[in-house]
Amino acid sequence: VELSNQIAAGEVIERPASVVKELVENSIDAKATQVLITVQQSGMKSIEVNDNGKGIAADDVEVAFLPHTTSKISNGRDLFNVKTLGFRGEALASIASISKLTVLTSTDGKSAVKAKFSGSELVKKETFARSIGTTMLVEDIFFNTPARLKYVKSLHTELNRIVDIVDRLAMGHPEISFRLIHEGKDLVWTSGNNNLQQTIAGIYGRTIASHMFQFQNSDPDYEIQGFFSKPDTTRSNRSYISLILNGRYIKNFQLTNAVVRGYGSKLMVARYPIAVIDIKMDPSLVDINVHPTKQEVRLSNEGHIGDLISDGIKKRLSQQNL
Tell me which of 20, 30, 44, 281 binds ligand ADP, using CB under 6 A: 30
Rounded-to-integer distance, Cα 130 and Cα 244, Å: 34
In the bound complex, what is the minimum distance in angstroms from residue 69's beta carbon to ligand ADP?
Answer: 9
| Binding test (CB under 6 A) with ligand ADP, winner from 26, 177, 190, 242 | 26
| Position 70 contacts ligand ADP (CB under 6 A) | yes
Stretch that binds ligand ADP, among 25-33, 109-117, 279-287, 296-304 (CB under 6 A): 25-33
Our finding on whether 77 is near ligand ADP (CB under 6 A) is: no
Q: Which of 184, 201, 205, 204 is nearest to 192 (CA)?
A: 201
If binding is defined by CB under 6 A, does position 214 make contact with ligand ADP? no
Q: CB nearest ligand ADP: which residue?
A: 86
Q: Which range touches ligand ADP (CB under 6 A), out of 87-95, 163-171, 199-207, 313-321?
A: 87-95
Spatial distance between the Cα atoms of 306 and 312, rounded to a whole number of angstroms = 10
CA distance 318 to 322: 6
Q: Are strands 275-281 and 241-245 parallel, antiparallel or unpaired?
A: parallel
Please report, as residue ranges, which positions from 85 to 104 form the binding site for Mg ion (by CB under 5 A): 86, 91
Residue nearer to ligand ADP on the CB measure, 64 or 281: 64
As a whole number of angstroms, the longest Cα–Cα distance in the chain is 65
143-182: which residues touch ligand ADP (CB under 6 A)?
Answer: none
Cβ pair 217, 224 in contact under 8 A: yes
- Hey, what's the torsion of the CAs at 202, 203, 208, 211, to 10 degrees? -60
Q: Which is nearer to Mg ion, 138 or 241 (CB)?
A: 138
- The Cα-based distances of 121 to 29, 89, 117, 135, 149 in angstroms read 25, 18, 5, 18, 21
Is 27 one of the binding residues for ligand ADP (CB under 6 A)?
yes
- Residues lying near ligand ADP in the complex (CB under 6 A): 22, 26-27, 29-30, 51, 53-56, 64, 70, 86-93, 134
